[in-house]
Amino acid sequence: MATAPDFETYCQELFDHKTAFGKPEVLKGYRVLSCTQYILGPSCASYLGELGAEVIKIEAPRRGEPMRHTTPFNEPLLYPLSRWAPEAGTGLGFFGANFNEEFVSLDFHRPEARQAMSELAAKSDVMVQNYRPGTFDRWGIGYQHLSKVNPRLVYQWLGGFGGWGPGRVRASYDILGQAQGGAFGITGEAADRGGTPAKHTIWLADYWGGMMAAVQVLAALYWRDTVSGEGTFIEYSQVHGVTRMLEYALPLYGRYGIRRERWGNWDTELCVHGIIQCGKSSYPDSKNPQEAEVGYILVTAHTDEDFKKLCDVIGRKDLATTYAKHDDRVKAQNQEPVYEAIEAWAKDKTKEDVAKLLDKAGILNQPVWNAKEVSEHPHWKLRGAVQWIDDPMYGDIHAQGPAFKMSDTPPRVKWTMKPVGTDNEKVYGRLLGWSKSKIAEMEDAEVI
């Protein structure tokens, strides 16, 4: 028998995203209805689509859902928005939350919609919706209605504040969730260093919230299919999710009345473990301001041994004496002189210069990479973390890969998204038995 390959090669072959399509899918045979808008609801359904579920996205006729109409700086759009509006496009705000889905349109306000939804739900395993609490119930397609049609249905509602309690009427916005839930107020440079609270650049509450909801859907499906045979109703509040993320803040406040505050790019629990500025740009000749900016790098040297090595490298052996013990250098008042010294040393270097010198000394570090550096980095490309998709609708699209890897039944990106109502005929014909003429009629009347 041949010698087993070395571990890294073994992993590379096992998790190669290019061989994913030769492997089975976990959620083959499962159907998910995605009656969702923006990011929170759609992303939950999208993660299930990556695992192989047939996900049907249901949007307003013609215009589709609002997120199609947002795009950074108004500039990049993918065309057509729909076959009715080829001159319009879908913005990149919509991108990433709707992978692998079939796209149909339906006007929920029309009387025919209730029947159509009921029939679709009868044939589905999961319903994901993030309309205001009570809306679907008023339309006759709430959990109370659809669970009678299909007791095995896992019905996932998502939103900002939930459907009960004093704040139930409040609208759901990602950054509102970040702000109200507490993550916004503790992120950013410290107040007494002139800093302000900082928004997480991603829709953290919504996109990560969608992952949390998908975890619960998968757990509910697991329970249904191995134990109970029953569906269930799940309520996910995105601001609740944010509050879950606050680490030691709540226990500390609860017992000792001490409020966690911002600590910028340093760490409250470990020193040295912080992001410092390097004085030189890595691309000084670039005309792109993003590249012309100076570099930044994370330096990790919190063990006594590593800290001593770091102090040698930066020419400040005195610091290793003054702050020899971690308990000393992790103190709030001591972190500042330590990081200032590291930054002073890095003032005439690029982040790559710094990384090289630290690597040589065996000190852990991570340069702060921008979107281009990540996109072009051989590590991320090899791993399929970012990948070029030959998208059947839009052509050559650069996209993110699935969040995690599985050896036997990997998640995968098949296509990125489609125009509004692309699959009306396919889905309504196949699943509801509508004739071609009925579909045309319904489209003309803008019921679908």
Partner 1 sequence: MSSEARTTIKPGLVLTCTKCSSKNFLDPYPFWNFQGNTKCAGCDTIYAVKFVKGQLVSGPTVGSGKPDLLPGYAEDKNGAGITGEGQIRPAPQARPDPFSGKQKQISQSVRGKPVSGHPLKKEELVGSRAKFIADLHRI
Partner 2 sequence: MADTTFPKHKVLPWPAVPIPTPDEVYRGLTDQAKEYPLSLEAQLRQSDNFKKPENLTTVRVLDVSKGMIIGNWCSSMLSELGADTIKCEPPDGDPLRWLTPFGRKEYMFKDAETGEPIGLHFLHEMRNKQSITLDLEKEEGRELLKKLVVHFDVLIENYPPGQFDKWGIGYRQLKEINPRLVYAWVGQKGQWGPSKDKPGNLDPTAQASCGFVHGTGLPKEFGGRPTRSAMWMADQAGGTSTAMGILASLLYRDKVSGKGQFVEGTAAEAVIRILDYNWAWYGMDGSIRPRYGNWDLAINIYAVNPCKDGYFMVGGGHDRLWYRIWRTVGQTRADLEDEILDDKSLRVVVARLPHTKQVKTYTVLADWQKDHSRADAMRELLAQQVASGGVNYVDEVAEDPHFKYRGHVDQFEDRLYGKVLYGTTPFIQHKAPGRLKWIGRPLGYDNEEIYLKLLGLGGGDLAGLKKRGVV
Asked if 374 interacts with partner 1 (CB under 8 A), we say no
Binding map of partner 1 across residues 401-440, x = CB under 8 A, - = no contact: -----------------xx-xx------------------
- To the nearest whole angstrom, how small is the minimum distance from the Cβ of residue 138 to partner 2? 9
Per partner kind, with CB cut-offs from 5 to 8 A, the member of partner 2, partner 1, none near residue 199 is partner 2
Bridge-based pairing state of the strands 101-105 and 126-129: unpaired
Provide the minimum distance between the beta carbon of 163 and partner 2 in the complex, in angstroms, as a whole number.
Answer: 5
Assess contact for 241 and 307: CB atoms under 8 A.
no
Pair of tokens at residue 76 = 């990049």
Three-state DSSP state, 57: strand
Dist CA 217 CA 155 (whole Å): 8
270 or 432: CB nearest partner 2: 270
The item of partner 1, partner 2, none sharing an interface with residue 86, based on CB under 5 to 8 Å by kind, is: partner 1
User: Which range binds partner 1 by CB under 8 A, 35-43, 81-89, 125-133, 335-343?
Assistant: 81-89
Pairing, β 54-59 against β 364-367? unpaired
Element (H, E) at 129: strand 126-129
Among 115, 290, 303, 435, the residue binding partner 1 under the rule CB under 8 A is 290
Query: Is 99 in contact with 105 (CB distance < 8 Å)?
Result: no
Beta bridge partners of 366: 298
Pinpoint the alpha helices (H) of 150-207.
174-181, 183-186
Instruction: Say how far apart CA 429 and CA 424 lie, in whole Å.
Output: 8
**285 touches partner 1 (CB under 8 A):** no
The pair of structure tokens assigned to 337 is 């002189």
Write down the residue that tokens 């004085």 correspond to. 279
Q: Which of 247, 388, 403, 404 binds partner 1 (CB under 8 A)?
A: 388
Site for partner 1 in 19-78 (CB under 8 A): 72-78
Q: Does 400 bind partner 1 (CB under 8 A)?
A: no
Q: Which does 88 bind (CB under 5 to 8 A by kind): partner 1, partner 2, none?
A: partner 1
How far, in Å, CA of 443 to CA of 422, rounded? 12
CB of 61 or CB of 419, closer to partner 1 = 419
Among residues 13, 229, 237, 306, the alpha carbon closest in space to that of 319 is found at 306
Question: Which one, of 35, 278, 219, lies nearest residue 141 by Cα?
Answer: 35
CB of 281 to partner 2, least distance (A): 11
Residue with Cβ nearer partner 2 (197 or 429): 197
* Residue 419 binds: one of partner 2, partner 1, none (C-beta under 5 to 8 A by kind): partner 1
41 binding partner (options partner 2, partner 1, none; Cβ < 5 to 8 Å by kind): none
* H-helix or E-strand spanning residue 198: none
- Tell the smallest beta-carbon distance from residue 439 to partner 2 (Å): 30
Size of the site for partner 1 (CB under 8 A): 34
- Does position 83 interact with partner 1 (CB under 8 A)? The reply is yes
- Partner interacting with residue 4 (select from partner 1, partner 2, none; CB below 5-8 Å by kind): partner 2
- Chain positions 181 to 210 lying near partner 1, rule: CB under 8 A, are 194, 196
Cα gap 133→168, rounded to integer Å: 8
133 near 170, Cβ under 8 Å? no
Query: Shortest gap between Cβ of 64 and partner 1 (angstroms)?
Result: 12
* Residue 162 engages partner 1 in binding (rule: CB under 8 A): no
CA distances from 352 to 169, 296, 306, 357 (A): 50, 9, 20, 9
Which tokens go with 49?
């689509």
Of 110 and 383, which has the nearer Cβ to partner 2? Answer: 383
Structure tokens at 327: 């308990």
Which residues would be at the binding site for partner 1 (CB under 8 A)? 72-80, 82-83, 86-89, 194, 196, 286-290, 388, 392-398, 418-419, 421-422
